[in-house]
Structure 1
Amino acid sequence: MHLFNNVKFNTPESVELEFTLAGIGNRAWALLIDYHVLAVILVGFFTAWSIISVPLGDFWVDIFGTGVTLWLIAIAFLVSFIIYIGYFVFFETLWFGQTPGKRVAKIRVVRDDGRLIGLQQATLRALLRPFDEIFFIGAFLIMLGRREKRLGDLAAGTIVIQTQTATASATLIISEQAKVLYEQLIEIADFSQLMPDDFAVIREYLQRRSAMSLKPRASLSLKLAEQVVDIINLEKLPELVTPDVFLEAIYLGYQKPEF
């Protein structure tokens, strides 16, 4: 495995963009954080389960015998497994390939073609995670594979890349109107169709627009907004919203930074 392994995506305009794969170190750091969050959730669940099941178990034992206790234990372990799987499915679907740990580690799961993952890919990755981690299959596959894929990545057709951050010299301002619009778009738009290169172009425009003259800026922002409308399956630009505000909302939808 290379120290910094890169993957390249070709845009429809034949522009080649390069991203750095996350690597086992970043992925382990993200997983460690996620397991701490999961531990808190599971401790809360087992505490609540104990409070509820002990008196309930005593009641049912008096009726059906001691076999009920085994059923209650089995149910508790089944629910804890669902929580374990559901944690990764929920966050990777809702946060477009990121969990709390991945967000801190600044890495993201995307499909092999660079598009954002959906529920199907997140579920496949989560279901195969126990095999990857318990038997250390994932660690070996990541270290030995050219694209650093664990078993779940191979099955789901995904890779894990480092997220790109804006340069310090660039100015990127997100308006309050864009934040409100994002909350509306997330309900009606298909953000999973956006690719990293789409986001990269939007981010580049938002960073450099202040240095552009008004006419070229208006023309470019409208062109980008119309292209994004087609990509995320909207009929048209939202009414009473400027292309700039729309692009800012799209930026939020992909990057989801903390403000």
Structure 2
Amino acid sequence: MHLFNRVKFRTPESVELEFTLAGIGNRAWALIIDYHILAFILVGFYILFWLLVVQFSDFWITVVGSTLGLWMIAIAFIITFTIYAGYFVFLETLWQGQTPGKRIAKIRVVRDDGRPIGLQQAALRALLRPVDEFLFIGAFFIMLTRQEKRLGDLAAGTIVIQDQIPIGTATLTISEPAKSLHAQLIEIADLSPLLPDDFAVIREYLQRRSGMSAKAKSLLALKLSQQVQAIINLEQMPAGVSSDEFLEAIYLAYKQKEF
């Protein structure tokens, strides 16, 4: 296995992205951190759960009778799994593929095409995590597959990469013409057909463009701007506006629409 395994993907917008895969060491380190946090959360839950059972034991016995112990074990198991899976689902969705452990280890989960993961991908990964951890099945898959995927990654269509460019946190440079144009776009264009995935592509381009060659940047900006125009049914861009400025203005207008 190579020390740094790199993988390339071409997005639907024809931009080629290259990632360095996280590797089993970084993923294990992130998981250790997350499990310590989970352990702290679960211990707090068990203490609270036990206090509630003891405090209202007469009520619970009246409701369920002699099977109180079995009911409490079942309820505790269900809530434990909900906390366990919910921790990864909630944080990976909210933090665009990261948990506290992944953030410290500087790794991130993304879709196979490089886009941020959503609720569906995070849920699939979390639900299959117990299977991956049974007899270290997931670790074997990570070590033996070229793209270092565990079963949860295979089902969700995701990869785990080194977080070289923090998606969603990178500083975007917005030109003055775009700041003026975005207010005009809100008036003349309907941005509602733009989906969150469309916005994510625009945001990623604006974050990554500084690392592109001038030719690649120009071609991609033109293609993206034409696609956005088609989506929002805008016949033509305002005169004297470059593709980059148009995309920056769309970014600002969409952000304003969200709020």
Q: TM-score, normalised by structure 2?
A: 0.69
RMSD: 4.0
Structure with larger Rg: 2
Match of 1:201 in 2: 205
Query: Relative to structure 1, is the Cα distance of residues 245 and 37 closer, same or farther in structure 2, using a 3 angstrom cutoff?
Result: farther
- Partner amino acid for 2:89? V
- Partner amino acid for 1:38? L
> In the alignment, is the contact (CA less than 8 A) between 1:116 and 1:194 conserved in 2?
no
1:4 is paired with a residue whose SS is: coil
| Structure 1 residue 141, shift from structure 2 partner | 0.4
2:56 is paired with a residue whose SS is: helix
Query: Relative to structure 1, is the Cα distance of residues 227 and 26 closer, same or farther in structure 2, using a 3 angstrom cutoff?
Result: farther
> In the alignment, is the contact (CA less than 8 A) between 1:7 and 1:18 conserved in 2?
yes
| Structure 1 residue 113, shift from structure 2 partner | 2.1
- Partner amino acid for 1:87? Y
Query: Relative to structure 1, is the Cα distance of residues 195 and 83 closer, same or farther in structure 2, using a 3 angstrom cutoff?
Result: same
1:160 is paired with a residue whose SS is: strand
Query: Relative to structure 1, is the Cα distance of residues 250 and 76 closer, same or farther in structure 2, using a 3 angstrom cutoff?
Result: same
Match of 1:144 in 2: 144
> In the alignment, is the contact (CA less than 8 A) between 1:114 and 1:195 conserved in 2?
no
- Partner amino acid for 2:145? G
Distance, in Å, in 2 between the alignment partners of 1:59 and 1:108 is 46
Match of 2:188 in 1: none
Distance, in Å, in 2 between the alignment partners of 1:63 and 1:12 is 57
Does residue 1:16 correspond to 2:16, yes or no? Answer: yes
Match of 1:58 in 2: 58
> In the alignment, is the contact (CA less than 8 A) between 2:206 and 2:248 conserved in 1?
no
Distance, in Å, in 2 between the alignment partners of 1:39 and 1:151 is 24
Match of 2:110 in 1: 110
| Structure 1 residue 134, shift from structure 2 partner | 2.7
Report the identity percentage.
60
Counting only pairs closer than 5 Å after superposition, residues 41-190 of structure 1 correspond to structure 2 as 41-61=41-61, 64-165=64-165, 190=195
- Partner amino acid for 2:115? R
| Aligned residue-pair number | 222
Match of 1:37 in 2: 37
Distance, in Å, in 2 between the alignment partners of 1:235 and 1:92 is 33
Name stretches of at least 5 consecutive residues in structure 2 with no aligned partner.
180-192, 213-217, 235-245
Q: TM-score, normalised by structure 1?
A: 0.69
Distance, in Å, in 2 between the alignment partners of 1:202 and 1:85 is 33
> In the alignment, is the contact (CA less than 8 A) between 2:110 and 2:117 conserved in 1?
yes
> In the alignment, is the contact (CA less than 8 A) between 1:116 and 1:191 conserved in 2?
no
1:108 is paired with a residue whose SS is: strand
| Structure 1 residue 52, shift from structure 2 partner | 1.0
- Partner amino acid for 1:59? F
| Structure 1 residue 31, shift from structure 2 partner | 0.8
Distance, in Å, in 2 between the alignment partners of 1:228 and 1:91 is 31
2:17 is paired with a residue whose SS is: strand
Name stretches of at least 5 consecutive residues in structure 1 with no aligned partner.
179-187, 209-218, 237-241, 252-259
> In the alignment, is the contact (CA less than 8 A) between 1:225 and 1:246 conserved in 2?
no
Query: Relative to structure 1, is the Cα distance of residues 205 and 94 closer, same or farther in structure 2, using a 3 angstrom cutoff?
Result: same
CA displacement 1:46-78 (0-9 Å, x = unmatched): 111111111222333256533112201210111
Match of 1:181 in 2: none
